[in-house]
Amino acid sequence: MTWSRARRCWPLLAALLLVVGSLTGWWLGGTGAGGYPRGVQGFATGVPAGVYSQYGAMLKGYVQSAMPGVQVRLDDSQGSLDNLDRVVSGQDAFAFATADAATQYHNPGWQRLRAVARLYDDYLQLVVPADSPVQRVADLKGMKVGVGQPLSGVNLVTKQLLTVAGIDPATGITPYQLEVGAAAKELAGHQLDAFFWSGGLPTGALTQLSSTFPIRIVPLGDLANALHDHYPDSAAYRTSVLPASVYGRNQAVLTLAVPNLLITRDDVSPGLVEGLTRSVIASRDVIGSAVHSAQLVDLGTAVYTEPLPLHQGAEAYYRSVKP
């Protein structure tokens, strides 16, 4: 082939290479026939002893089976506020967060947050030894109290509850910023007088604790009105009954509950979000057999994700299954 003839072939060769390159990129990490990008997707859960972590681990397996080519990387975190930070910053594409934390989150980039689904409710639980004199939050004054890690949802609402109960969260108690597994061990070792926890029912760390150490759940429902009056952004919390015998022989108590949301960011692929939403709904019974809270995921309530708007990928899924 002459040089001049070879030059005339360059446009055709360049076009061919562009097509091959595009197909290679599609196969390795782009959007395939399933309409979603392949590759690793970060998913922030929570503390290892909490329901977020257990639910996330089972959802990971289901998603990877239902969406070939997607690899879910689970990232432990302190909880809701930490998860919101991680999604906004791009460290993770998906995460769990409580509705009240999402309402009160105003760090830079908060406008980009989107919801995938409303999941189950977290129950706020004030845990004390069965023979403790504590009957209400006001009785904690001067005591050693686990208040959750700094970037957890439980730490956020615990400060508010202590305040409306007339206790300064910084000086009225001796606060211990512990995750639920560590707090349970400290309570059993008589190093704590009480600890707060916000999680689905039952939470494994509390189930394990109650099997060897008698505990009692202190009612919190009487503070609902004061909480709402003093902190308008806490409206997501409502009174709810924590059933009897969830942990050993505990009695039913009126406490506070808040919806959990599965969250993402506005720039995450619509196809990826649609596939994840489908997996969340389809896996309910499978995951619910091991994680009781997952049984409460419901197509009828999943779309109620206030304060966050639904991601367009989630909207596409819900429209596709609408009767």
pLDDT tens string 128-150: 999 999 999 999 999 999 999 99
CATH number of the domain that residue 309 is part of: 3.40.190.10
pLDDT band at 121; cut points 50, 70, 90: very high
Give how many domains the chain has, as a whole number.
2
Instruction: Tell me if 79 sits within 8 A of 151, measured CB to CB.
Output: yes
Where does the pLDDT of residue 22 fall: very low under 50, low under 70, confident under 90, or very high at 90 and above?
Answer: very low
Is the per-residue pLDDT at 86 higher than 90? yes
For residues 17-35, average pLDDT: 39
Q: 11 lies in a domain?
A: no
Reported as a pLDDT band with limits 50, 70 and 90, residue 12 is very low
pLDDT confidence of residue 294 = 87
Question: Is the pLDDT score of 32 beyond 50?
Answer: no
Q: Is residue 26 part of a domain?
A: no
**Domain stop point among 212, 234, 258:** 258
| 241 band by pLDDT with thresholds 50, 70 and 90 | very high
Q: What is the pLDDT of residue 169?
A: 97
Residues 126 and 253 in one domain: yes
Task: Kindly state whether residues 178 and 52 are assigned to the same domain.
Answer: no
Residues 251 and 139 in one domain: yes
Q: Are residues 254 and 290 in the same domain?
A: no
- Look at residues 258, 281, 301 and tell me which one is the last residue of a structural domain: 258
Range of the domain at 47: 39-121+260-321
| Strand duo 144-146 + 194-199: pairing | parallel
Residues 205 and 264 in one domain: no
17 vs 145, residue with greater confidence: 145
**Domain closes at, from 258, 276, 293:** 258
Asked, for residue 3, whether it belongs to a domain, the answer is no
Looking at the fold, whether 221 and 316 belong to one and the same domain comes out as no
In tens, the pLDDT along 198-234 reads 999 999 999 999 999 999 999 999 999 999 999 999 9
My answer on whether 233 and 276 are in the same domain is no
Q: Does the pLDDT of residue 314 top 70, yes or no?
A: yes
Instruction: Identify the residue with better confidence: 294 or 212.
Output: 212
- Residues 243, 224 share a domain: yes
On whether residue 22 sits in a domain, the answer given is: no
**pLDDT over 60 (residue 67):** yes
Res. 29 pLDDT band, cuts 50 70 90:
very low
What's the pLDDT score for residue 322?
87
- When pLDDT is averaged across residues 103-128 and rounded to a whole number, the result is 97
Separation CA 197–CA 185 (nearest Å): 14
Flag whether 30 is in a domain.
no
Distance CA(205)–CA(28), nearest Å, equals 41
Same domain? 266 vs 254: no
* Band (34; pLDDT cuts 50, 70, 90): low
User: 3-class secondary structure for 54-110?
Assistant: HHHHHHHHHHHHHCCCEEEEEECCCCHHHHHHHHHHCCCCEEEEEHHHHHHCCCCCH
Whether 134 and 165 have beta carbons less than 8 Å apart is answered as no
- Strands 113-129 and 94-98 turn out to be unpaired
Among 302, 287, 270, 323, which residue's Cα sits nearest to residue 57? 287
Residues 180 and 85 in one domain: no
Token pair of 315 as six digits = 């909207």
* Residue bearing the bigger pLDDT, 1 or 241: 241
Q: Which 3-state string (H, E, C) describes 9-38? A: HHHHHHHHHHHHHHHHHHHHCCECCCCCEC
Q: Report whether pLDDT(19) > 80.
A: no
Is residue 55 in a domain? Answer: yes
Is residue 28 situated within a structural domain? no
Buried-exposed string 175-213: b where 16+ CB fall within 10 A, e elsewhere: bbebbbbbbbbbbeeeebbbbbbbbbbbbbbbebbbeeb
253 and 287 co-located in one domain: no
pLDDT mean over 67-81? 97
User: Which CA distances in Å does 276 have to 41, 46, 133, 310?
Assistant: 11, 19, 46, 13
Q: What percent of the chain has pLDDT over 70?
A: 89
User: In this predicted structure, what is the pLDDT of residue 8?
Assistant: 44
What is the residue-wise DSSP string for 126-161?
Answer: EEEETT-S--SGGGGTTSEEE---TTSHHHHHHHHH
- Mean per-residue pLDDT over the chain, rounded: 90
* 113 and 126 housed in the same domain: no
Please write the tens of the pLDDT for every residue from 160-176. Answer: 999 999 999 999 999 99
The answer as to whether 238 is a domain residue is yes
